[in-house]
Amino acid sequence: MKLVLGSSSPYRRELLSRLHLPFEAYSPDIDEARLPEESPTALVRRLAEQKARAVASRFPNHLIIGSDQVAAVGDTIITKPNNAAHAVEQLQFLSGKTVLFHTGLCLLNAQTSHLQLDNIVFEVGFRVLDDASIQRYLAKEPAYNCVGAFKSEAYGIALTTHMRGDDPTALIGLPLICLTEMLRAEGISIP
């Protein structure tokens, strides 16, 4: 079956290309607002599934991949800052804290309606960041389109005290270890 990545993220496209499987990317148009009292796990699982289902209507004979990510400190959810001012605010808030990055992953077989859904959590400890450190980081890595303005695979690594999790690609936005298991369950051969 053909694969479709339900995402406009260049990071997810790059990650999926690592599997050397042909795929198309199509951006789903969904409302990503958090529901009242929705947990980070419930939020990313819901959005990953909604993205896959939104794309499935256009690609009814494909395997559809949906994914979404948020960072959480307790009940506070952090998303993409989208601009410099919010990036500074987010990094000031994350300073000295341990943050859980939740990545929801959905694989939907649009032909059979078989759905696989998971949430992969990755823990990141941020060192104490002063304003000068934040400004230096953002000048070199303006990660405004990354959750928490944090790009772990690049200069963002300098902001951390530790990172813990089973799949480092989950932190970038598409957990490939979990995805390869889901694809195998759908009969896709991956070494």
Q: What is the pLDDT of residues 26-68, one digit of tens each?
A: 999 899 999 999 999 999 999 999 999 999 999 999 999 999 9
What's the CA gap between 112 and 6, in Å, rounded?
A: 18
Of the listed 29, 31, 68, 118, which one is catalytic? 68
Q: Does residue 178 contact residue 119 with C-beta atoms inside 8 Å? A: no
Domains and their CATH numbers in the chain = 2-185 (3.90.950.10)
Buried b (16+ CB within 10 A) or exposed e, 170-186: bbbbbbbebbeebbeee
68-116 pLDDT, tens per residue? 999 999 989 999 999 999 999 999 999 999 999 999 999 999 999 999 9
The fraction of the chain above a pLDDT of 70, given in percent, is 100
- Specify the residue for token string 């990510």: 69
Confidence at residue 100, expressed as pLDDT on a 0 to 100 scale: 97
Other CB atoms within 10 A of residue 115 CB: 17
Confidence at residue 1, expressed as pLDDT on a 0 to 100 scale: 85
Q: Based on the residue annotation, tell me whether 131 is a catalytic residue of this protein.
A: no
